[in-house]
Amino acid sequence: MSNFMTHNNFYFSSDVLSLVNKYAGSIIVVKYGGSVMQNNHLKLKVIEDICLLYYLGINIVLVHGGGIFVNQYLNKLGIEPNFHNGVRVTDSITMEIVEMVLSGKVNKNLVDLFNINNIPAVGLSGKDSKLIQASSLFNDNMQNNLTGKVNMINSSIIHLLLSNKYIPVIASIASDFKGLTYNINADTVASAVASSLKANKLVLLTDMPGILSSLEDSSTLIKNLNLNSINELKNNGTISGGMLPKVEAAVNALESGVNSVHIIDGRVQHSLLYEILTNNRIGSKIII
């Protein structure tokens, strides 16, 4: 009997047991981005799907961004969001808003949703217990830009939470050794966290079906890729724009020991369950 999904329901049969047994006790890092968090109904369903995976014995670490909510608050304050080559320019005022929104609002909202489902979750940012040590993404020519990169992950706090059956919910901000706060791309953070934990899977929930051979045609989804095919698609321009940082995050994770990376459509209800608990692909799976 096969597994299948409809618009509202995910159905699975006894053949899912082999995958549950395979992944029980393993670590899966899920990145949840702001653009696919706007629909409150879908957001609740994503959290419920993570709760089910938790009950099946899978250790879930949730990393989130929230750039679209940051932009909303900036607009309310009359501040124009500023980007340089597709990367947010995070000045000191913007950084305060980023931290307020990601750590104070988005992170706690996600923890609340786990609480509603009686799942123990702990909200963190990269600052907590020096979870992430960061530095500037740019050189000295980019003054007053607090957009950062990950230098090091202190995975001990994550392991402590997982061993005590908590779901870590991590906002993608961090500080350097001087205490200066940085805004970091959530795909980058998720990749670094998955790498440090030697996770079985990294799953990136996006607003795209996955990697497409033709950007305007969802039927051209490429379901299975490896590093060689990724390089070919980058070289011929098939992978470009907003997909590039996701693919770079995927490659970094794979080269650091993560078994597979999945780029899937977070707008599709139960896509997370379908990708993990069936042998079919709803998105793009990348391996070495």
**Which pair of structure tokens corresponds to residue 12?**
């699975």
What pLDDT, on a 0 to 100 scale, did the predictor assign at position 138?
84
Of 135, 147, 146, 143, whose CA–CA distance to 92 is shortest? 146
In angstroms, the CA 54 to CA 59 distance is 6
88 is in an annotated binding site: yes
Distances (CA, A) of 163 to 20, 23, 26: 19, 16, 12
What pLDDT, on a 0 to 100 scale, did the predictor assign at position 83?
82
**Domain residues of the chain, as ranges?**
24-287
Cα R_g (the chain), whole angstroms: 18
What pLDDT, on a 0 to 100 scale, did the predictor assign at position 200?
98
Q: Domain 24-287: what homologous superfamily?
A: Acetylglutamate kinase-like (3.40.1160.10)
CB 237: neighbour CB atoms within 10 A?
Answer: 8
183 is in an annotated binding site: yes
For 285, list phi and psi in degrees, rounded to 5.
-105, 130
What pLDDT, on a 0 to 100 scale, did the predictor assign at position 144?
78
Q: Which residues contact 111 (CB under 8 A, 6 or more apart)?
A: 121, 122, 123, 169
21 is in an annotated binding site: no
pLDDT tens over the chain, length 288 residues: 344 454 456 565 566 888 999 999 999 999 998 778 999 999 999 999 999 999 999 999 999 999 999 999 999 999 999 887 667 889 999 999 999 999 999 999 999 999 999 999 999 999 999 999 999 998 755 567 899 999 999 999 999 999 999 999 999 999 999 999 999 999 999 999 999 999 999 999 999 999 999 988 999 999 999 999 999 999 999 999 889 999 999 999 999 999 999 999 999 999 999 999 988 889 999 999
- Strands of the sheet with 121-125, listed across from one edge: 121-125, 167-171, 59-64, 27-32, 201-206, 260-265, 284-287, 224-226
Of 14, 12, 15, 82, whose CA–CA distance to 52 is shortest? 12
What pLDDT, on a 0 to 100 scale, did the predictor assign at position 143?
60
Of 182, 105, 118, whose CA–CA distance to 150 is shortest? 182
What pLDDT, on a 0 to 100 scale, did the predictor assign at position 16?
85
Q: In 69-200, where do the E strands start and end?
A: 83-84, 87-88, 121-125, 132-136, 148-153, 167-171, 173-175, 181-183
In angstroms, the CA 69 to CA 106 distance is 8
Q: What is the dihedral of CA 284, 88, 237, 219, to 10 degrees?
A: 40
Contact 277, 264 (CB under 8 A): no
